[in-house]
Amino acid sequence: MVILDKIALALTVIGALNWGSVGLFGFDCVAFLCGGPAAALSRVVYTLVGVAGLWCVTLLFRGSEEESGQPYTA
C-alpha cells in the first residue's frame, strides 16, 4: 500500500498545483497540456486526481503503527 499512497499523494499535489494556477492566474495546466478541459485525456487526469484525493483522505485516519508495519491494536 505504500507505493499506492505515494502515487496518490503525488497526483493530489499535481491537482493542488493545477488548482493553484487556476486560482492565481486563470490558467488550467491540465487542460493546456491535454487538449482542453473537455478532452478525454483531461477528463481522465481530473478523475485520477479526484480518486487520489479521496484515497489521501484515508491517510488522515491511519495510525502511525500501520505505517511502521506493526499491527494496529486501537
Tens of pLDDT, residue by residue over 29-61, are 999 999 999 999 999 999 999 999 999 999 988
Write down the domain spans for the chain. 2-63
pLDDT band at 63 (very low <50, low <70, confident <90, very high): confident
Q: Indicate whether 1 pLDDT > 90.
A: no
> Sign (positive/negative) of CA torsion 51, 57, 62, 64?
positive
φ and ψ at residue 29, rounded to 5 degrees: -60, -40
| Residue 61: all three cell numbers together | 485516519
pTM above 0.95, yes or no: no
- 60 against 68, higher pLDDT: 60
